[in-house]
Every structure is written in C-alpha cells, then in structure tokens.
Chain A
C-alpha cells in the first residue's frame, strides 16, 4: 500500500510573495476555494502581520472554508502571533530561523535566543488554544543536531509537526532524504517538506523527503515562489502518484492550474 502524503499548498503565502505577483482579496478567496474543493489538506493562506487588508482576506478565507485546514505564517515574534489571533486560523505556523546565516547574520542573535523566543511564541499561541506548527527556516544549511534539539523542545510543548525548509534550494535528494530520516529517527516528530527550485530539484527533493517519512509536502500552483519557485503541485503529483497516495489527482491539479494561471503567471 502506498503511504499517504498530505499536500500543504502555500501558493497564497510563499507563492504570492514572489516578485511580480499581487493578489486582491477576491482573488485569494477564489483560489483558496478552488484549493479546498480540489481536496488540498492544508492551505497556507497568508501573513496576518502584513496588515488589515491581509487580515480581512484571511478572515474571509476562514469563513468560506469547508474541509481544508487554513494556516497562517508568522515570524518569530509575539506581535505577529497576536495579529494571527485576529484571523482565528486552524493552524498558527511559526517560522524559526535555524541556520548560522539566518541566526547570526540576519537576526544577529544566537541559538539560545532562538530556543527562548520560540518557546515564548509557542506558549502564546497555545495559550489561546491554537494548533501550532514550526518552520525550520533554512534547515538545509543548518546543523542536524540543532534541528533535532529544537524538534525535541517543540514536541515537549505540544507541537506535532515541523517544516523542513530548503529556503535557498540547495538540497539534493539523497541529502534531503538523510536529513528528514535523521530528524524523524532522532525525535519521532512529523515532518513537512518545503522545497525551493533553485537547482531544479524541488520535485525530486519533495519525493525524497516523502520516501524518508515526511507526511506533508508543500507545493504551489504553477510552482510560483521566490527566485526559481517552490515545488510545483501538478508536477509533484504527476511524478509521485505511483509512489504515494495523495488526496488530489493529476486531473484536479491540471484544472487548478487552468483556473488560476491568469492570476499567477508573471
């Protein structure tokens, strides 16, 4: 029997923030409805901290949703998470920078600060009863020991799933497989793979992650996303249908592309 994998679509968050794309409230609500109807497990719908326009959009998406879980993306700070409360999403996703470049050069902090801040943010979201997932931003350039430590800490706090993000798209399938396998073996946590396509390997890396035990795979329609884009939903489904059980078919993914391409093609 083929293992079941869940699609987490991030067209409306990571996809939309690629240069050249700017969706209106009506357009985001329309795309979210299509994704929900097609059987996408989870829709990462946006970033509440962007402001009132985005929050209104997210509230409407929440109001319309049928089966899909709606998640919202947050930086590692309490202010972002409070903005998310206004949208009452199903899942609050907190992105934690984990590589040396992200922690020391971008944030100018250290690992201890990340652990402390992440704990505070998870506590805050959990205190309001939200399901929380944690993103390991730039995980592909991070130390697996730190990833495992962090995963163990967030599991203790009730987080069941972490996102392994190949933020700059430099993973190869075998390395991706090893990283996901190690993380699962060391901690038992559920893993969601988030691949970028900078070396043309987003689909291959997502399949490798699934084979290693990741139960969730992030995609975008038409593969839109920063720089060279994210894992393309249609391509992933086509390439992995013989290996994984997916709740959304090739035909549905083709129809999704057809119905949204006028909004998403740069």
Chain B
C-alpha cells in the first residue's frame, strides 16, 4: 500500500500566490490522484473551499492551532518534544543517517512521524537504514526526503519499493523535496502506483507553477520539461521512427507532451526526409548529402538547432532548378 502526500501547497507561502491560482493548483493535484494534499494555513485561507474529491492535511505551526481548523484528514506540525495528538503528523528533521537511531525516542509517544531530510542517504547503506526506520517505530512513518544531494526522488522511490508506505513530495520538487511527478511516474513505470493513469494536464500545471513562482521550469526537467520529447540525433530519430519505445521511457501523451523532430548539427539523412515530408516540402531537385552538410554548417554557425523556417529556406536555396 503506497500513499503519497503532496506538500506543494505548504511550500508556496513565500510567493504570495493569488487565491485563484492556488485553488487551480489544488484542483490539479486532486486530478493527479495523490492520496493526500497538504497545505499551509495561508494557502487554506486563500483557497477557502477545497475541491470535494481530495483528502487534505493542514500544516499548522503549533499544536494549539488544531482547534482553529476543522475538517482535515490530518494535521502536520514540526515536532516540539511533546506527545502529539494521533491526528498530528510530527515532522522530525534528520540530517544524518546516524540520527535514525534517535527516532526510537520519539516513537515511544508519537503515532505519526514524518522524517524530513536524509539528503545523502543514497551514498550509505540505505536499505539497512530503511529497515531500521520501519522496525516497529510507530504506526505511520512517512519519509519526506530533501534534495540537497539531488537524490530526493530516488530516495522516495527506494523507500516505497523497499517496504515503506508513506512519502511526502512536492510538485516540481518545490521547497527542495522529492518531485511528486517524478515519484509518481517512476512508480507507475514500475507498475506499483497509478498504473493506468495519465496526466495530460501536466503542461498546464507547469505553467501555473511558473506563474506562481515567477521562475521558468527548465525545458529538460524530468517528466515536466517542455522539450523532453524533442529529438534531433540521427540515431535517435531512426529509432523513434521505427518504434518510439526504443528511445522514450514513456509516451509523451501520458504527460501531455509532444514529440518534435528538430533539425540541426546531429541530424541524419533519414531525419531530413522525415522533416521534408512533415513540412510538405517538395523534395524534387534536392541532393540529400549536400543538404545535410548545409544543415550542419548552418546549425554550427547559429550554435543551435534550426527552426522550421530556416530549414525550409535552406531547402529552397539548394534545389537544382
């Protein structure tokens, strides 16, 4: 049983996001099908009415705030060295694998623990460490790995495929956590979670997050990037034209992406022919060998791939009349 909590809405307070955008993001997270959606009190006050289909966790600053907000599945709070109500997920920061032993002290009086941190655990004997963490510590132990060593999504997935049940992550890894979409997609490919699900709305979510944070998401960002299905290299174009599975880990449709044939320095003749056909260019009078050389030189000159217009212009200029 795998349960994923998305904590994006508790990581956005610093951005002063407009209420309508937070609400839209919440709706997208519900559509994504994560098991719980956590939000800060600031986000909750802005969203006001939550979509019906979700299960929600409220992140509170102190246990006394519990009485101020009702209707949530659970509440989360940084652990303050007191016994917490069973409704509260107590967050405990562990910066080092050696600190795992200290969990036992907390487990004696906590039912729900979220371990945050463990950035560098991949470099250690993490399978054994996970085993120590799981062994009868508490009823519900959730891992929220941090991304200080660029391994958070891998840690989250390893935790889940090695017997852990609960993970907390954020969309696009906001706040320095595991990226929800990477964890979900990895588990989906492994046939352990959301097996039949598709997420064609991810590009809209990406744009929404860009609007909220004011930061552009890198075009090569795993699962989300706008150009992750672009293909230029001759060998890859050849493979994809035979069967996209040869060079794609999953179909672009699943994440609302689009495969794009790009022409540039690394194109091969087969790719040129495909592009010529795609653009409806008349190939008559074109010498493919000469065209390929011209494309390579133009691309090097530009220090980038060519646009469709630039490619068409080269084709026109090279036609034997």
Instruction: List residues of A whose CB falls within 8 A of some B CB.
Output: 16-24, 27, 50-51, 53, 75, 101-102, 105-106, 138, 167-170, 172-174, 197-201, 203-205, 207-208, 211, 223-224, 226-229, 232, 235, 238-240, 242-243, 263, 266
7 closest Cβ contacts across the A-B interface?
Answer: A204-B154, A22-B265, A239-B149, A19-B232, A243-B123, A204-B151, A19-B262
Report if B276 contacts A (CB, 8 A): no
Asked if B233 and A17 sit within 8 Å, CB to CB, the answer is yes
- CB-CB under 8 A from A211, the residues of chain B are 123
Asked if B232 and A17 sit within 8 Å, CB to CB, the answer is yes
Distance from A21 Cβ to chain B, minimum over Cβ atoms (Å): 7
Distance from B117 Cβ to chain A, minimum over Cβ atoms (Å): 15
Asked if B266 and A17 sit within 8 Å, CB to CB, the answer is yes
Report if B122 contacts A (CB, 8 A): yes
Instruction: List residues of B whose CB falls within 8 A of some A CB.
Output: 120, 122-124, 127, 149-151, 153-155, 157-158, 161-162, 173, 179, 182, 185-186, 189-190, 219-223, 225, 227-233, 235-236, 238-239, 242-243, 245-249, 262, 264-266, 293, 296-297, 299-305
* Most chain A beta-carbon neighbours within 10 Å: one of B153, B227, B249: B249
Asked if A53 and B222 sit within 8 Å, CB to CB, the answer is no
User: Which residue in A75, A101, A228 is a CB contact (below 8 Å) of B225?
Assistant: A228
Asked if A174 and B127 sit within 8 Å, CB to CB, the answer is yes
User: Which residue in A19, A106, A200 is a CB contact (below 8 Å) of B239?
Assistant: A106
Asked if B222 and A200 sit within 8 Å, CB to CB, the answer is yes
- CB-CB under 8 A from B266, the residues of chain A are 16-17, 22, 50
Asked if A20 and B249 sit within 8 Å, CB to CB, the answer is no
- CB-CB under 8 A from B155, the residues of chain A are 204
Q: In whole angstroms, what is the CA distance A198 to B250 when docked? A: 10
User: Which residue in B124, B153, B227, B247 is a CB contact (below 8 Å) of A19?
Assistant: B227
Asked if A22 and B303 sit within 8 Å, CB to CB, the answer is yes
Q: Can you list 24 contacts pairing A with B, beta carbon distance less than 8 Å? A: A19-B227, A19-B230, A20-B230, A20-B232, A20-B304, A22-B300, A50-B266, A106-B243, A167-B247, A197-B220, A197-B222, A198-B228, A199-B153, A200-B173, A200-B179, A200-B182, A201-B151, A201-B186, A203-B151, A207-B122, A208-B122, A228-B228, A240-B123, A263-B303
**Known contacts A50-B266, A228-B221, A238-B149; A201 and B154 CB within 8 A of each other:** yes
Distance from A106 Cβ to chain B, minimum over Cβ atoms (Å): 5
Q: In whole angstroms, what is the CA distance A187 to B221 when docked? A: 36
Asked if B186 and A19 sit within 8 Å, CB to CB, the answer is no
Q: In whole angstroms, what is the CA distance A105 to B241 when docked? A: 11
Asked if A18 and B222 sit within 8 Å, CB to CB, the answer is no
Q: In whole angstroms, what is the CA distance A50 to B222 when docked? A: 29
Asked if A266 and B249 sit within 8 Å, CB to CB, the answer is no
Distance from A250 Cβ to chain B, minimum over Cβ atoms (Å): 12
* Most chain A beta-carbon neighbours within 10 Å: one of B124, B223, B232, B238: B232
Asked if A22 and B304 sit within 8 Å, CB to CB, the answer is yes
Asked if A51 and B233 sit within 8 Å, CB to CB, the answer is no
Q: In whole angstroms, what is the CA distance A199 to B188 when docked? A: 11
Name which residue of chain A comes closest to B154, CB basis: A204
Asked if B230 and A168 sit within 8 Å, CB to CB, the answer is no
Asked if B245 and A75 sit within 8 Å, CB to CB, the answer is no
Asked if A266 and B123 sit within 8 Å, CB to CB, the answer is no
- CB-CB under 8 A from A20, the residues of chain B are 227, 230, 232, 262, 264, 304-305
- CB-CB under 8 A from B235, the residues of chain A are 75
- CB-CB under 8 A from B189, the residues of chain A are 170, 199
- CB-CB under 8 A from A102, the residues of chain B are 239, 246
User: Which residue in A24, A50, A101, A172 is a CB contact (below 8 Å) of B303?
Assistant: A24
Q: In whole angstroms, what is the CA distance A174 to B236 when docked? A: 28
Q: In whole angstroms, what is the CA distance A71 to B100 when docked? A: 44
**Known contacts A19-B230, A20-B227, A21-B304; A105 and B221 CB within 8 A of each other:** no
Q: In whole angstroms, what is the CA distance A51 to B265 when docked? A: 11
**Known contacts A106-B242, A228-B220; A203 and B304 CB within 8 A of each other:** no
Q: In whole angstroms, what is the CA distance A229 to B262 when docked? A: 16
Asked if B300 and A101 sit within 8 Å, CB to CB, the answer is no
Asked if A207 and B304 sit within 8 Å, CB to CB, the answer is no
* Most chain B beta-carbon neighbours within 10 Å: one of A22, A24, A101, A227: A22
**Known contacts A75-B235, A199-B182; A172 and B154 CB within 8 A of each other:** yes
User: Which residue in A16, A101, A173, A199 is a CB contact (below 8 Å) of B245?
Assistant: A101
**Known contacts A170-B249, A172-B186, A199-B186; A232 and B158 CB within 8 A of each other:** no
Asked if A226 and B262 sit within 8 Å, CB to CB, the answer is no
Q: In whole angstroms, what is the CA distance A200 to B145 when docked? A: 14
